[in-house]
A and B are shown apart, each in its own frame.
Chain A
Amino acid sequence: SQTIHQWPATLVQPVGSPLSLECTVEGTSNPNLYWYRQAAGRGLQLLFYSVGIGQISSEVPQNLSASRPQDRQFILSSKKLLLSDSGFYLCAWSRQGASRGFGYTFGSGTRLTVV
């Protein structure tokens, strides 16, 4: 069976510090990978998605970047965190292609507080 791991679960970082959140998927190959953010009291916003190694698409301009160094590894980074980067970060995966009927499976999330 497929599993998705996301860590850390909670993170408190000072403004201006770097960030690295990691997400890995097991039990499948060549997945589509996604990063979402949910600000307090808000809906989920798609930040990045990737259809393959080294292929990153950004949805919104922001202070963050994403990388996919391996097939089942997706990393969210920032060189200098802003207060507005606080939120609940979720990684998700889906099967490749436009196959019908396949939705997302989400990780358990990382709650980031920038202070």
Chain B
Amino acid sequence: DAKTTQPTSMDCAEGRAANLPCNHSTISGNEYVYWYRQIHSQGPQYIIHGLKNNETNEMASLIITEDRKSSTLILPHATLRDTAVYYCIVRAVIQGAQKLVFGQGTRLTINP
């Protein structure tokens, strides 16, 4: 499985854009990058995923570098409810099952 590296923690002011970086320098050509977040005492919530191209949905945008060795999750207008641990994951497919290996993630705190 490709490993990912994320900062341990980040702070962002409410209403500003939160940019969460992730390094995945050993990613393979057919591996997707997924982002999940976990609000305290809840199960992780899917945010977005991508392969090569930048992606955007109602929650966030995902920017993947051309060499695919890193990516950035962007929350365009952060709110207090976005305070959570954010996980960057490279998906591995083993015998038809998708194994998502979670690292330590980035603890994002949105400040009022």
Interfacial residues, chain A to chain B (CB-CB below 8 A): 32, 34, 36, 43-46, 49-51, 57, 88, 90, 92, 94, 96-98, 100-109, 111
Tell me if A100 and B42 are in contact (CB < 8 A): no
Contact of A108 among B32, B36, B42 (CB under 8 A): B42
Once A43-B102, A43-B104, A108-B43 are accepted as A-B contacts, the answer to whether A32 and B97 lie under 8 Å apart by CB is: yes
| Chain A facing B: main interface SS | strand
- Interface size class for chain B? 20 to 34
| Chain B facing A: main interface SS | loop
Q: Mark B81-110, 1 if CB is under 8 A from A, else 0.
A: 000000100010101111111111100000
Tell me if B42 and A43 are in contact (CB < 8 A): no
Tell me if A109 and B97 are in contact (CB < 8 A): no
Q: Mark B4-46, 1 if CB is under 8 A from A, else 0.
A: 0000000000000000000000000000101010000111111
Task: State in angstroms the CA–CA spacing of A50 and B96 once bound together.
Answer: 10
Q: Does B68 contact A (CB under 8 A)?
A: no
Task: State in angstroms the CA–CA spacing of A91 and B43 once bound together.
Answer: 9
CB-CB under 8 A from B96, the residues of chain A are 32, 51, 96-98
Task: Tell me how far the C-beta of A29 lies from the nearest C-beta in chain B, rounded to whole angstroms.
Answer: 15
Tell me if B104 and A105 are in contact (CB < 8 A): no
CB-CB under 8 A from A98, the residues of chain B are 93, 96, 98
CB-CB under 8 A from A103, the residues of chain B are 34, 36, 46, 49, 91, 98, 100
Once A49-B99, A51-B97, A103-B49 are accepted as A-B contacts, the answer to whether A43 and B105 lie under 8 Å apart by CB is: yes
CB-CB under 8 A from A104, the residues of chain B are 36, 44, 46, 98, 100
Tell me if A106 and B97 are in contact (CB < 8 A): no
Q: Does B80 contact A (CB under 8 A)?
A: no
| Residue with the greatest number of chain A CB neighbours at <10 A, chosen from B41, B43, B93 | B43
